[in-house]
C-alpha cells in the first residue's frame, strides 16, 4: 500500500532549512535542552546503555522513507537522534492520517517489548537525520536480560498509548486550528529548527483534512503573529502563543511523558 503520488510529493517537499541555535528537540519539562543522544537511551544505567549501544549501528533516515508497513514484521528498531518519524494509520481508499510521532524522546519498535513484531501503523520519516538501529533478534535478546531496559520500555509504551488515545480524541473533537498548532509544536520539539519547508498538501495529509481547511487555519495563526508562512517556508515566531493556541492534547502528551519518563 502506498500514498498517492501527490502525498509522496508533499513529503519530499518538506525539509528543515534553518536550524536554530537555541532549538530544543524535546521539552518534557521546562529548561530541557537539545541533546546529541536519544533520551530513552540516556535513561539507562551506564552498563545497560553500553550493552544496548553495542548492538546498535548509526543510520541516516531520509525524508519520506517508509520504515514500517502495517502488519509486516519489523526487522529493526530505531532510536532517532535528530530525525523523527510519523506514525500513520492507514485505511483502504484513503492516504492515511498521522496518529503519533517519534523523535529522540522515544523509539520505533517498542511493540517488541510486548512480544509483537508487527505494528498496525505505517512509519514514515518526517524529519530526516540520524538514528541508531538494532536488529530485532539482537534487541529482543538484550531486552530479555536487561531489566532496566524492560522497565523503561514499559513506561514508554504507556506514553505511546496516551499519545495514540489523545490523537483519536483530538481528531474527533478538536478544530483544525488548534490541531495544526499542536502538530507544529510536536514537530518543533523534535526538529533542530524553528523554520521548516512545508506545504499545505503535506499538512492536510498529516491532519486528515482538506487543504482549504489547513490554509484557513494557517492564515489565522499567521495573522495572530504566531507563525510566518511564505512560499512553502513556515517559521514559528511565537512559541508561547502557539502553545496557547494549541488544543489541550499537546499539554497532555507532554505531561504523560514527564510523569512516566524523567
Going from N- to C-terminal start, the domains of the chain cover 24-173
Alpha-carbon distance of 109 to 38, in angstroms, equals: 14
Sign of the CA dihedral with 178 first, then 189, 172, and 204 last: positive
- What is the model's pLDDT at position 234? 85
Alpha-carbon distance of 258 to 68, in angstroms, equals: 27
DSSP lists the bridge partners of residue 61 as 129
Between 208 and 22, the higher pLDDT residue: 208
Weakest-pLDDT range from 33-42, 158-167, 190-199 = 33-42
Helices 147-173 and 136-145: angle between axes, nearest 10 degrees: 120
pLDDT above 50 for 87: yes
Name the fold adopted by 24-173: Jelly Rolls (2.60.120)
- What is the model's pLDDT at position 230? 86
- What is the model's pLDDT at position 204? 83
pLDDT above 60 for 2: no
Alpha-carbon distance of 106 to 158, in angstroms, equals: 12
CA distances to 12, 62, 67, 133 from 52, in Å: 32, 24, 21, 10
Weakest-pLDDT range from 6-10, 23-27, 149-153, 231-235 = 23-27
- What is the model's pLDDT at position 35? 38
| Beta-strand runs (E) in 51-209 | 56-61, 66-68, 76-80, 84-89, 97-102, 122-127, 129-135, 193-197
- What is the model's pLDDT at position 154? 95
Weakest-pLDDT range from 44-53, 224-233, 242-251 = 224-233
pLDDT in tens, 93-117: 777 889 999 999 999 999 999 999 9
CA distances to 32, 47, 139, 190, 195 from 19, in Å: 17, 33, 33, 12, 7
pLDDT in tens, 126-141: 888 899 999 999 999 9
Confidence class for position 18, pLDDT limits 50, 70, 90? very low
How large a percentage of the chain has pLDDT more than 70? 86
- What is the model's pLDDT at position 203? 83
pLDDT above 70 for 66: yes
| Nearest of 185, 162, 167 to residue 99 by alpha carbon | 167
- What is the model's pLDDT at position 237? 96
Alpha-carbon distance of 137 to 51, in angstroms, equals: 14
Question: Rounded to the nearest 5°, which phi and psi values hold at 60?
Answer: -100, 130
Cell numbers 488548534 label which residue? 178
| Beta-strand runs (E) in the chain | 15-19, 56-61, 66-68, 76-80, 84-89, 97-102, 122-127, 129-135, 193-197, 227-230, 233-236
Query: Which three three-digit cell numbers place residue 142?
Result: 538484550
Query: Which three three-digit cell numbers place residue 256?
Result: 504523560
- What is the model's pLDDT at position 63? 83
pLDDT above 80 for 11: no
Confidence class for position 145, pLDDT limits 50, 70, 90? very high
- What is the model's pLDDT at position 27? 38
Q: What pTM, to 2 d.p., does this model score? A: 0.81
| Nearest of 241, 159, 193, 229 to residue 82 by alpha carbon | 193
- What is the model's pLDDT at position 20? 33
Query: Which three three-digit cell numbers place residue 210?
Result: 482538506
Question: Rounded to the nearest 5°, which phi and psi values hold at 215?
Answer: -60, -45
pLDDT above 90 for 224: yes
- What is the model's pLDDT at position 22? 32
- What is the model's pLDDT at position 13? 38
Query: Which three three-digit cell numbers place residue 26?
Result: 524535546
Amino acid at each position: 500500500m502506498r500514498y498517492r503520488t501527490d502525498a509522496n510529493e508533499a513529503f519530499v517537499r518538506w525539509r528543515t532549512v534553518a536550524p536554530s541555535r537555541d532549538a530544543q528537540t524535546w521539552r518534557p519539562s521546562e529548561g530541557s535542552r537539545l541533546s546529541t543522544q536519544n533520551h530513552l537511551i540516556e535513561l539507562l544505567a551506564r552498563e545497560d546503555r553500553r550493552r544496548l549501544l553495542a548492538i546498535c549501528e548509526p543510520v541516516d533516515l531520509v525524508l519520506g522513507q517508509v520504515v514500517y508497513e502495517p502488519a509486516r514484521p519489523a526487522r529493526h528498531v530505531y532510536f532517532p537522534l535528530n530525525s523523527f518519524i510519523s506514525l500513520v494509520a492507514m485505511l483502504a481508499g484513503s492516504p492515511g492520517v498521522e496518529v503519533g510521532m517519534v523523535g529522540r524522546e522515544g523509539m520505533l519498535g517498542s511493540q517488541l517489548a510486548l512480544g509483537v513484531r508487527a505494528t498496525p501503523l505505517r512509519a514514515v520519516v518526517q524529519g530526516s537525520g540520524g538514528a541508531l538501529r538494532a536488529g530485532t533478534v539482537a534487541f529482543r535478546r538484550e531486552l530479555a536480560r536487561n531489566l532496566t531496559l524492560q522497565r523503561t520500555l514499559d513506561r514508554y509504551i504507556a506514553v505511546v498509548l496516551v499519545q495514540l488515545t489523545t490523537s483519536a480524541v483530538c481528531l474527533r473533537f478538536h478544530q483544525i486550528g488548534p490541531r495544526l498548532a499542536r502538530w507544529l509544536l510536536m514537530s518543533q520539539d523534535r526538529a533542530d529548527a524553528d523554520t521548516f519547508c512545508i506545504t499545505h498538501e503535506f499538512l492536510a495529509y498529516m491532519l486528515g483534512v482538506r487543504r482549504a481547511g489547513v490554509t484557513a487555519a494557517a492564515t489565522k495563526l499567521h495573522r495572530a503573529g504566531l507563525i510566518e508562512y511564505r512560499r512553502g517556508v513556515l517559521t514559528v515566531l511565537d512559541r508561547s502563543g502557539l502553545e496557547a493556541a494549541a488544543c489541550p492534547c499537546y499539554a497532555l502528551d507532554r505531561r504523560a511523558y514527564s510523569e512516566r519518563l524523567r
